[in-house]
């Protein structure tokens, strides 16, 4: 199962063999471009409604994918691609989750080809 998740992750982020992003580079992407991606959460009754807003491009690199990771980026207990739609000059993705199922969630995004830009943000439920 972990192999399938890893294969999906690699395909989604279009990483070729020999292309590797260091933890330091990833932290730099997160710091530099993290504010370009907004994650809003709202509690309605007993569920959280989460809306992710993404730019069409980052440094002229087109948006490619957004994924939801649960518990960890490196060893997630669950990972799923999120469908997006364009609204004006943004891409929007969303999901809803029962408040009793809240754990540590991350959103991973990909921009550009090959070793493009990826941004990872934790979802903060308020």
Q: DSSP letter string over 71-122?
A: S-SSS-SEEEE--EEEETTEEEEEEEEEGGG---EEEEEEESSSS-EEEEEE
pLDDT of residue 82: 98
Determine the pLDDT at residue 17. Answer: 45
- The pLDDT, as a whole number, for residue 20 is 80
Over its length of 126 residues, how does the chain's per-residue pLDDT go in tens digits?
554 444 444 444 444 444 688 899 999 999 999 999 999 999 999 999 999 999 999 999 999 999 999 999 999 999 999 999 999 999 999 999 999 999 999 999 999 988 899 999 999 998
Q: Under DSSP, is residue 24 helix (H, G, I), strand (E, B) or coil?
A: helix
Task: Quote the tokens at residue 2.
Answer: 């972990």
User: What is the reported pTM?
Assistant: 0.83
Closest by Cα among 33, 40, 101 to 63: 33
Domains and CATH numbers, the chain: 2-123 (2.60.40.10)
How many Å apart are CA 123 and CA 107, to the nearest integer? 7
């Amino acid at each position: 199962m972990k192999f399938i998740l890893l294969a999906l992750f690699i395909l989604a982020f279009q990483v070729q063999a020999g292309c590797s992003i260091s933890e330091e580079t990833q932290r730099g992407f997160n710091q530099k471009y993290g504010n370009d991606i907004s994650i809003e959460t709202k509690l309605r009754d007993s569920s959280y409604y989460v809306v992710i807003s993404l730019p069409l491009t980052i440094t002229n690199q087109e948006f490619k994918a957004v994924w939801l990771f649960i518990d960890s980026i490196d060893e997630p207990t669950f990972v799923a691609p999120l469908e997006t739609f364009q609204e004006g000059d943004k891409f929007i993705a969303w999901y809803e989750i029962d408040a009793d199922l809240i754990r540590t969630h991350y959103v991973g995004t990909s921009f550009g080809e090959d070793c493009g830009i990826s941004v990872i943000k934790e979802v903060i439920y308020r």
